[in-house]
Amino acid sequence: MNRLVSDSKQSRAWLLPTLLFTLLFTQLFASQASAETGDHHQAYLDALSTVVAAQTRIEREMIRISNGAVGHYDFLQHEHIELVRHASALRHPPTGMSASGRDSVIAQAGVLFMAAESLELVIADYLRAEAQLSSALSNTLDLLATQSGQSLENPDLPHLQGLADAVRQFRRDNTSETRDVLYAAFDRVAPLDSEQTWQSALLAQRNLVRNNANEAASGPSMIAMTGIMSLAEELRATYIAVMPR
């Protein structure tokens, strides 16, 4: 009998620390899970903000390329990579919301991710047009430099200078107005009495400009047409609505 009482006391002595350890472990795990959910929630909101602003940043880099503010395409490609990276992360929202709410968020995030990926073709077409356009403009200036003060009569020189000025203005701002001025300047130089090889080379540059100027200018509007910003804003509204406070 005494042994049974002793065993019972020992069992109770072990039981209390075990219960306390279990309670503390459960609370610690719950606190950690809550912290992780909170961190995930904030990271998700940060990614949403990045994606919402991505369209504006990409359009800005296109304009900087177009007006010659930067001489390479690294910044534009970096902005697109960042957009795709954050859009991909948005397909994995934090837990804690209802199953239907989570499914809705994931579905919208999937549409947004595909739209972000589709920009690769838009950007590639834009960069191809810009590269050909930049090359044609540089070649035009080089061709004009070889003719100025050579075999042309003095009355022809202003036409050469006018084309050079039009090229430089167009380089700073590709608009419908500067395109019209540039095309007219090409047309005034075309009839000049110069060697056939030079005129053929100039004609080739004019054709390259005409074939790529509009596409280069429309790059930012093509980005806007994908609706990246509106898709991201819709996803943010849905996420905030279904995520528990």
For residue 148, the domain's CATH number is: 1.20.1270
Note the pLDDT of residue 155: 67
Q: Which residue has the higher pLDDT, 12 or 39?
A: 39
Same-domain status, 169 and 207: yes
Mean pLDDT over each residue of the chain, to the nearest integer: 85
Domain co-membership, 98 together with 119: yes
Mean pLDDT, residues 50-63: 95
> Can you give the pTM of this predicted structure?
0.78
Neighbouring C-alpha atoms within 13 Å toward the C-beta of 33? 8
Yes or no: say if 62 and 223 are a contact pair by the CB < 8 Å rule. yes
Residue positions counted in the chain? 245
The answer on 177 and 64 residing in a single domain is: no
Percent of the chain whose pLDDT exceeds 70: 81
46 within some domain: yes
What is the band of 169 on the pLDDT scale with cuts at 50, 70, 90?
Answer: very high
Query: Which position has the token pair 């947004």?
Result: 112
Q: In whole angstroms, give the CA distance from residue 92 to residue 102.
A: 9
Q: Is residue 31 assigned to a domain?
A: no
- Compute how many other C-beta atoms are within 10 angstroms of the C-beta atom of residue 237: 12
**Shared-domain flag, residues 98 and 133:** no
Question: Model confidence at 154, in pLDDT bands (50, 70, 90)?
Answer: low
Q: Could you list the residue range(s) of the whole structural domain that residue 179 is in?
A: 129-217
**Nearest-CA neighbor of 187 among 166, 168, 171, 172?**
166
Kindly state whether residues 134 and 212 are assigned to the same domain. Answer: yes
Work out the percent of the chain whose per-residue pLDDT is above 90.
70
Query: Count of domains in the chain?
Result: 2
Confirm if 194 and 171 have CB atoms less than 8 A apart: no
In a domain, 56, yes or no: yes
Query: Reduced to 3 states, what is the DSSP secondary structure of residue 133?
Result: helix
Q: Are residues 52 and 113 in the same domain?
A: yes
The DSSP secondary-structure symbol of 67 reads T
- Judge if 58 and 115 occupy the same domain: yes
Cα–Cα distances (Å) from 105 to 100, 101, 202, 225, in that order, read 9, 6, 55, 22
% helix, strand, coil for the chain, step of 5: 85, 0, 15
The string of pLDDT tens digits covering residues 85-96 is 999 999 999 988
pLDDT score for 117? 96
75 and 112 share a domain? Answer: yes
- Per-residue pLDDT band at 23 (split at 50, 70, 90): very low
Place of tokens 């819709």: 234
